[in-house]
Amino acid sequence: MDRALAEEIKRLTSLGLHRRCVEGDIEKVAALTLEIDRLKRERNAVVCAHVYQTPDIILGIGDLVGDSYKLADDCRRTSADVIVFCGVHFMAETAKILNPSKKVYVPSKRAGCSLSEAITAADVRKLKAEHPGLPVVTYINTSAEVKAESDCIVTSANAERILRRMYEKHDRVIFIPDRFMGANLAKALGKTPGKDIVLWHGTCVVHERFKPELVDVYRKRYPGLVALAHAECPAELIKAVDFMGGTGDMMRYVESTDASAYLLVTECGFGELAKLRFPEKNFIAMCRLCPYMKSITLESVAALLRDPASAEEVTVPPAVAAKAKVAIDRMFELAA
Ligand code: 13P
Ligand code: SF4
């Protein structure tokens, strides 16, 4: 076997990636990660990987890894010419808005998001006309056009803090598009949906369907279990768990605590990564796959980097990007 390939297999094995491979597969994975690494250097490309991606992408080729906030923040500082975004389209659009001179790609044409698709810029304009003077606080899981109509963007990592700041100056706010996250945040802040916060009807297809009764089933089976859920889950589910947050908050919670078991109520990639990062801890994944996130593979990243010219670049019209950037920069300012 080629020496570089043998070394790469060793590296991937040391990261624990062999455990998710059937016999012989680790060699194919290593051949791809080696090729992607070479192409990244040739094209001065950086790979951003959201934590819902598969571990072969995150650990095998990811340069910038994290939640939506960390990825947006980190990619502001990259010196790469090309950003390959292993995440969903709205994340790549945000990267493009923050890096207009760089080429940004998503290695899948199917990497949408049900939340992002739930609202249009025309819907936001209508909401603003119905509620004049209210600030529009918008979850990052939205299109660039929707961001351009917004006053401030938030992610799961900073939504509570930013909304709290907004309520210092306003009695009511518009929060779009996730109605579950909006209701969860309202509860955390002692606000009433409809009265203090105007919500939209968007939901995440992954998080909307978790059943709270199952949390109790797991609690009985694993005494001492701590249950964590993403803030996109419905309120009844959040009521049944011990901790609500974004993926970054959930990972930090796991890292800094020592429970006998962790129930992870979110997309399955999170649990896969947590198991590899903390092999000594016991994880139970009450998880669902995000079809959009999972449409990206090592093969699709390699195909893109072999021939970027044939791929569709992520583009945002400059006038839209300029307005959206004001709302994104407001987030960075208020989240700091
Ligand atoms: P995070 O920013 O918490 O990673 O969330 C992104 C997302 O799409 C969750 O479904
Ligand atoms: Fe969108 Fe839900 Fe997938 Fe996150 S998990 S990208 S919110 S569909």
Q: Is 246 in the pocket of ligand 1 (CB under 6 A)?
A: yes
Contact predicate 177/119, CB 8 Å: yes
Q: pLDDT band for position 4 (50/70/90)?
A: very high
Q: Which of 85, 113, 117, 295 to mutate to test the pocket of ligand 2 (most atoms within 8 A of CB)?
A: 113
Q: pLDDT band for position 20 (50/70/90)?
A: confident
pLDDT for residue 22 is more than 90: no
Distance 156 CA to ligand 1 centre (A): 7
The CB density around residue 260, as the number of other CB atoms within 10 Å, is 11
What is the reported pLDDT for 57? 97
Q: pLDDT band for position 333 (50/70/90)?
A: very high
Which residue's C-alpha comes closest to atom 4 of ligand 1? 67
Q: pLDDT band for position 148 (50/70/90)?
A: very high
Sheet of 243-245, strand order: 243-245, 225-230, 261-265, 283-285
Q: What is the pLDDT of residues 51-61, one digit of tens each?
A: 999 999 999 99
DSSP string, 62-124: -SEEESHHHHHHHHTT---SEEEEES-HHHHHHHHHH-TTSEEE-S-S----TTGGG--HHHH
Q: Is 288 in the pocket of ligand 2 (CB under 6 A)?
A: no
What is the reported pLDDT for 176? 98
The stretch 146-167 carries a mean pLDDT of 98
How is residue 217 written in tokens? 């089933």
Q: pLDDT band for position 157 (50/70/90)?
A: very high
Q: What is the pLDDT of residues 216-258, one digit of tens each?
A: 999 999 999 999 999 999 999 999 999 999 999 999 999 999 9
Q: Which of 139, 162, 232 to mutate to test the pocket of ligand 1 (most atoms within 8 A of CB)?
A: 232
> What is d(CA 308, CA 258) in angstroms, rounded to the nearest whole number?
45
Q: What is the pLDDT of residues 181-202, one digit of tens each?
A: 999 999 999 999 999 999 999 9
Dihedral angle sign, alpha carbons of residues 147, 329, 295, 310: positive
What is the reported pLDDT for 1? 79
Q: Is 204 in the pocket of ligand 1 (CB under 6 A)?
A: yes
DSSP string, 140-194: SSS-HHHHHT-SEEE-TTTHHHHHHHHHHH-S-EEEESBHHHHHHHHHHTT--BT
This prediction has a pTM of 0.97
Q: Is 292 in the pocket of ligand 2 (CB under 6 A)?
A: yes
Domains of the chain from N-terminus onward: 3-110+293-310 (3.40.50.10800), 116-203 (3.40.50.10800), 207-285 (3.40.50.10800)
Q: What ligand 1 atom has the least distance to the C-alpha of 246?
A: 3
How is residue 170 written in tokens? 């306003």
Q: Name the percent of the chain lying above pLDDT 70.
A: 99
DSSP string, 38-50: HHHHHHTEEEEEE
pLDDT for residue 23 is more than 80: no
Give me the chain's average pLDDT, please.
97
Q: What ligand 2 atom has the least distance to the C-alpha of 178?
A: 7
Which residue's C-alpha comes closest to atom 8 of ligand 2? 113
120: CB partners within 8 A, 6+ apart: 143, 145, 146
> What is d(CA 53, CA 114) in angstroms, rounded to the nearest whole number?
17
Q: What ligand 2 atom has the least distance to the C-alpha of 266?
A: 5
Name residue, tokens 């969860």.
184
Closest listed ligand to the CA of 49? 1
The stretch 206-215 carries a mean pLDDT of 96
pLDDT for residue 264 is more than 90: yes
Which tops the pLDDT comparison, 327 or 22? 327
Task: Supply angle C-alpha 103, 109, 114, rounded to 5.
Answer: 110
Q: Is 266 in the pocket of ligand 1 (CB under 6 A)?
A: no
Report the Cα 227 to chain-centroid distance in Å. 20
pLDDT for residue 172 is more than 90: yes
Q: What ligand 1 atom has the least distance to the C-alpha of 247?
A: 3
Q: What is the pLDDT of residues 292-316, one digit of tens each?
A: 999 999 999 999 999 999 999 999 9
Q: What is the pLDDT of residues 63-121, one digit of tens each?
A: 999 999 999 999 999 999 999 999 999 999 999 999 999 999 999 999 999 999 999 99
What is the reported pLDDT for 336? 86
